[in-house]
Structure 1
Amino acid sequence: MTWWQGKDLVHPWRILAYELLSWLVLWAIFKSPRWLHFALIPAFLAAPIEIYLRLYFQQSISSHHLGIITETSPGEAIEFLGNKAWLLLVIIIFIAAWWGSLLRSAWSSSELAWRHVSRWWVLALLAICVGPWLLGQYFGLASSSVEASTDDTEVAASNSTPQLIHVRSWSQLMNWADQHEPLPAWASILYDEDSFNRSWPLGILARTYDFINERQYLATLSEKNRDFRFSAQANDGNFPALTLVLVIGESSRYDRWSLNGYQRDTTPYLRQQDNLVSFSDMISPVAATRLSVPIITTRKTALQSLKPGFYEKSLVSAFKEAHFKTYWISNQMSFGQFDTPTSVIAKEADHTQFLNFGGFTNTSSYDQVLLQPLQAALDDPAPHKLIVLHTLGNHWNYSHRHPAIYNKWTPSLYGIANPAYTNLKNKELISNSYDNSILYTDWFLARVLDQLSKTQASPALFYVADHGQTIYDGSCNLAFHGHNTQYEFHIPAFMWYSDDYAKRFPQKVEALERHKDAKLSTENVFHTMLDMADIRYPSEQLSRSIISAQLSRHKRYVDSYGWSDYDNASFKGDCREVIDNGTPLPQDK
């Protein structure tokens, strides 16, 4: 069945059945319209967000969206919404007025109060259905590793020691049942969490429940994986000093770098660098920072990226095991008491610094704030170091990402208060401002390379963006990210190495040059970074390392209407929307 805005709706009758069942259950629990009306307040509050996401992103609220909302400051939210903030405000006022207008009639109406004995039969049936699930939630169920890989080639497949797990969602309970006593096919009608989550109004409560579980999971993740070990060690325990830097970019797209053929000279400094190899076909499987950074820094695969947390530690801990001193220096926010997937990883480092106290607004620091802490890390007498720099890069508002001197292409958004990225009249200004932000990124990265080149510790650097951007390309009326376009998946990435590094690892450099046009994904970064340091560990996968002669191609999935095979996809229209030529894999949320 085709649904609103031409999107296919999976199991529409099943969703309708859940809708009707939800209202029946709510009626039975609250008995009268007056209490039911108050119970529906969460659904009324969520409705404006649901409508906005449907209108502009063709998506419904998910635990991922709830995470973005809680991790976003009011200032950034206003910038993101632009002139659509007024539309959202109108919707909020309308729905609030609607709720208020119904309150009086709901409060005074008694005709619909469910006083018949059948109400108790419905409540009893509800208890029978929910009771076993609640017991499983409370006591846990014996199972193998929760995060088992969907790819039988992944190292996670070997980590199958039975353990007691705490079941966190209905789908996990069903997975457990599948592993022990498969459910009959007809049971999927009753136990389809995805369809239930799409229903209204109880579906929003289920998604909120998943989000709360994700938060709890992240808050305890450090404790859960405290004993995890890669058993990593340097290939030569007494190897000479070595300094590696991983720069994680933000919201940068491949085709806006002159280093990669863009007609505007947005990367003049990087183009002049010796020993810099730009990768022509690197993609990010997901177009959201909170999902992409874990893929970059851990062995978490694309197909696992929508799941909260990860049962392994990151490359930071692997380097620590090999006696590297580790730094995580960020121009993004730690978001205070609420850990994010990124901040959980950052805290693994020996030294962690979050230097942005202004969010993404005009009070934010420029990325150059990272240069002094970087120099302090380089000056540290420790011989072996891993330094991760997490930049604000090219995040909206683009004109806030650079000083006035880099306002080269005009007209731009520079100096304009509260510009609306959703206003097509600003199309040229937005595009120019984006290019100006990349020009500043080029300067910043050149300064980082300059600092590195002065150290005697055989330095090397790997840069990769977390995801790209769509910017009203051609007749495309989309901007920002979350739209399933090639512009958001195809990202800039490069490796730079010093002459000392090349002398020390000539075979790695040779493989690097040979693989610069290979079909790569951010799933390759973890394995490449460990290989750059010549760190070995029992479960290593050199077939995923870009600088290994053993590199082999793997299937590249992207989050586009399910898990689409990027290399077997068509790119639709000027937006270059990624459409799988086959059938995308379902996303187990």
Structure 2
Amino acid sequence: MSSNFSWKSLGKLYLYFFYFSGLSQILIYAAGMSNTVGIRQALFISTIWLVPNLIWPQYTRKMSAFIGLLIWPASLVSLSYFYIYGQDFSQSVLFIIFESNVSESKEFIESYLDYKIILLAITHALTGIYLWRQITPVYLPRLNKLITICIVSLIFGGGFLKPLIVYGKSWDYSIKSFQDKIEPAAPWNMIAGYFKYTKVLDAMNEQLAESTQIPPLSNLVYSNNKQTMVLVIGESTNSQRMSLYGYSRHTTPLLDNMQHELLTYTDVISPRPSTIEALQQVLTFADQKNPDVYLTKPTLINMMRQAGYKSLWITNQQTQTKRNTLLLTFSQQADEQVYLNNNRVQNSSQLDDGVLEPFKKALSNSDGPTFIVIHLLGTHRKYNYRYPESFKQYTGRAGMPEWVPDEHAEEYNDYDNAILFNDYVVSSLINILKDTSTNSSLVYFSDHGEEVFDTKGDLFCGRNEGKPTPAMYTVPFIAWLSPEWKKTHSTSSIQNTLNHPYQTSDFIYSWADLAGIDFKGNDPTRSIFNKHFIARKRMIGSPFTPKKMINFVSISHKQELTLN
């Protein structure tokens, strides 16, 4: 074998590495979803794999095979995500991945895995193997080898050190800047995303550990009523698929029957289409303009404890105590927790009616102001896992839109059956509270919506922030207030806002209003329960890329362009 330098050999080696990092970026650019930044970063970052092969050319085939095996899975994930969603990986997607448990991941794979994905994986692997078989060692003279290594080191070292040395930025800024540069290319998208995730998680854990040192809300005043307040958080439930909101199928018969007792808000959306990113705003003072405020200001749970409420968090979401997630951090801010689904593997048959008995027990043991959060699995995909066989009511095409093809009919029906069971759970919680506690209130909403073939001409199931539809954001939002609560509060102003556009990122102000809590910085105009409520433009999209955010009205038929 010749030991002379060959540009052809260098080109084949580089193409092999660029294939894994750059293919998805080329497809994204070709689809018009992005500019050339991703391709440029992939071209830039692919050079790092050349270094060991240039230093030890005699091991080129073994090293390139090993590196290929390492980066192929991340490359396949990026490629598969583009195939399913038509989008590039983002920080939001990575956060969702790292927050997901084994069962959620299994259900996601089951939902999207088909012969096309399998064929894509096989083709992707075979192409990589073909490119690998073309590789031959690249021999450089010793001096050129040293020069090449120095150049590559300067490229990567400069990318990290330039902000630090030239612009005097901090280490954190330099690290983040470098992560942003390498993030588009696999597998660095996974690696950089993981470090960003752990940084946010560490900040949340630090907040939890030092919660007593976080300044409480200033000038907080509250009523001394002995009341029980219940917050029920659903999952992936689109209000458009509930008969309570006018859906043709009778998917919420129990809530329909008690409609005269409920305050049903008709135009409510979530700020983000994923659980943790939505709840980071819903349960805190963060919003689309100030997404990081949850790290520095008290949460809704902190506020209730400051007001003298004993707090309890009941969850049917899998929350292993050894698996620290952002959602777990929220729950641990409560005085007590009940984790119903804390096995190593989430039980798919762990239905939401499991929250009913702990809820009854909590109410019977309550003494004084009590605040209870109940977090449901709701209608989370895979939908047929979310209801028992006895609730399998929808099996045919009756009431199904004509544009839903037969191949998706079963999943469409499963979602409606999941909503039917969710109706049973939520109505049962209301009835238990009604029978047990006198001065009480309950609010139920979903963290976000879900697209389940609801959009004609754009068949899709799931959520995609980069390609939003109304179904991904529209959520049920209902309140039940006990007769005793109504005796001491006026409900006329509340009823006047039932049809106003509202976004749950303002929920902490609404909850404080309902609880009779006031504090410095409170804004009654952001409370849907207040007569001074002012409807605002509802921006959706990632607040970390504000230029890409859009007004919800641009994807809906509602007119709110004149709002502030």
TM-score over 0.5 for the alignment? Answer: yes
Matched, 1:387 2:369: no
Q: In 1, Cα distance between the equivalents of 2:423 and 2:529? A: 24
Q: In 1, Cα distance between the equivalents of 2:469 and 2:64? A: 42
SS at match of 1:210: helix
Cα-to-partner distance string for 1:389-444 (whole Å, 9 max, x where unaligned) = 000111122222122222222249xxxxxxxxxx9544222222222221211121
1:20-99 matches, cutoff 5 A: 20-28=43-51, 31-32=54-55, 34=60, 35=63, 38-39=66-67, 41-82=69-110, 84=113, 86-97=115-126, 99=128
SS at match of 2:312: strand
Matched, 1:255 2:240: yes
Cα-to-partner distance string for 1:328-372 (whole Å, 9 max, x where unaligned) = 100101144332222111110001122124699763321111111
1:4-15 matches, cutoff 5 A: 4=28, 7-12=31-36, 14-15=37-38
Letter in 2 for 1:49: V
Q: CA shift at 1:80, angstroms?
A: 2.3
Q: In 1, Cα distance between the equivalents of 2:548 and 2:107? A: 30
Matched, 1:545 2:527: yes
Q: CA shift at 1:570, angstroms?
A: 3.9
**Which residue of structure 2 lines up, in the alignment, with residue 555 of structure 1?**
537
Q: CA shift at 1:452, angstroms?
A: 1.2
1:312-331 matches, cutoff 5 A: 312-331=297-316
Q: In 1, Cα distance between the equivalents of 2:505 and 2:550? A: 14
**Which residue of structure 2 lines up, in the alignment, with residue 227 of structure 1?**
213
Tell me, yes or no, if the aligned pair for 2:232 and 2:445 is still in contact at 8 Å: yes
SS at match of 2:263: strand
Tell me, yes or no, if the aligned pair for 1:249 and 1:392 is still in contact at 8 Å: yes
Higher share of residues assigned helix: 2
Matched, 1:428 2:414: no
SS at match of 2:172: coil
Letter in 2 for 1:356: N
2:510 aligned to 516, 519, 528, which one?
Answer: 528
Aligned-residue CA RMSD (Å)? 3.5
Tell me, yes or no, if the aligned pair for 1:366 and 1:401 is still in contact at 8 Å: yes
Could you list the runs of 5+ residues in structure 1 that have no partner in the other structure? 142-165, 174-190, 413-422, 582-589
SS at match of 2:231: strand
Cα-to-partner distance string for 1:446-470 (whole Å, 9 max, x where unaligned) = 1111111124441011111111111
Matched, 1:472 2:464: no
Q: In 2, Cα distance between the equivalents of 1:255 and 1:328? A: 28
Matched, 1:350 2:306: no
Q: CA shift at 1:5, angstroms?
A: 8.5
Q: In 2, Cα distance between the equivalents of 1:476 and 1:454? A: 45
Matched, 1:400 2:350: no
Letter in 2 for 1:278: T
Q: In 2, Cα distance between the equivalents of 1:97 and 1:211? A: 33
Matched, 1:462 2:486: no
**Which residue of structure 2 lines up, in the alignment, with residue 150 of structure 1?**
none
Q: In 1, Cα distance between the equivalents of 2:488 and 2:388? A: 39
TM-score relative to the length of structure 2: 0.80
2:477 aligned to 481, 484, 493, which one?
Answer: 493
1:294 aligned to 274, 280, 283, which one?
Answer: 280
Matched, 1:278 2:264: yes
Q: In 1, Cα distance between the equivalents of 2:220 and 2:364? A: 22
SS at match of 1:198: coil
Q: Percent identity?
A: 21
Q: CA shift at 1:170, angstroms?
A: 4.7
**Which residue of structure 1 lines up, in the alignment, with residue 432 of structure 2?**
451
Q: CA shift at 1:88, angstroms?
A: 3.9
1:514 aligned to 493, 496, 502, which one?
Answer: 496
SS at match of 1:395: coil
Matched, 1:118 2:147: yes
Cα distance change of structure 1 residues 89 and 133 upon mapping to structure 2, 3 Å threshold = farther
Cα distance change of structure 1 residues 104 and 55 upon mapping to structure 2, 3 Å threshold = closer
Tell me, yes or no, if the aligned pair for 1:332 and 1:390 is still in contact at 8 Å: yes
1:377 aligned to 350, 356, 362, which one?
Answer: 362
Cα distance change of structure 1 residues 114 and 375 upon mapping to structure 2, 3 Å threshold = farther
Letter in 2 for 1:118: I
Cα-to-partner distance string for 1:127-172 (whole Å, 9 max, x where unaligned) = 6525636979xx994xxxxxxxxxxxxxxxxxxxxxxxx726755x
**Which residue of structure 2 lines up, in the alignment, with residue 18 of structure 1?**
41
Cα-to-partner distance string for 1:289-343 (whole Å, 9 max, x where unaligned) = 12112221111112455x6963333211110011100011001011443322221
Cα distance change of structure 1 residues 21 and 362 upon mapping to structure 2, 3 Å threshold = closer
**Which residue of structure 2 lines up, in the alignment, with residue 410 of structure 1?**
395
SS at match of 2:443: strand
Q: CA shift at 1:276, angstroms?
A: 0.9
Tell me, yes or no, if the aligned pair for 1:233 and 1:321 is still in contact at 8 Å: no
SS at match of 1:494: strand
Tell me, yes or no, if the aligned pair for 2:443 and 2:478 is still in contact at 8 Å: yes
Cα-to-partner distance string for 1:375-400 (whole Å, 9 max, x where unaligned) = 12111242101100000111122222
| Aligned length in residues | 514
SS at match of 1:386: strand
**Which residue of structure 1 lines up, in the alignment, with residue 172 of structure 2?**
167
Could you list the runs of 5+ residues in structure 2 that have no partner in the other structure? 1-24, 398-403
TM-score relative to the length of structure 1: 0.77
SS at match of 1:464: strand
Letter in 2 for 1:450: N
Q: In 2, Cα distance between the equivalents of 1:312 and 1:539? A: 12
Cα-to-partner distance string for 1:466-514 (whole Å, 9 max, x where unaligned) = 11111123443201222511111111111111111111121xx222111
Cα distance change of structure 1 residues 26 and 469 upon mapping to structure 2, 3 Å threshold = same
Q: CA shift at 1:30, angstroms?
A: 5.4
Tell me, yes or no, if the aligned pair for 1:545 and 1:551 is still in contact at 8 Å: yes
Tell me, yes or no, if the aligned pair for 2:285 and 2:299 is still in contact at 8 Å: yes
**Which residue of structure 1 lines up, in the alignment, with residue 419 of structure 2?**
438
Q: CA shift at 1:74, angstroms?
A: 4.6
Deviates more, 1:224-233 or 1:513-522: 224-233
Tell me, yes or no, if the aligned pair for 2:307 and 2:517 is still in contact at 8 Å: yes
SS at match of 1:569: helix
SS at match of 2:248: coil
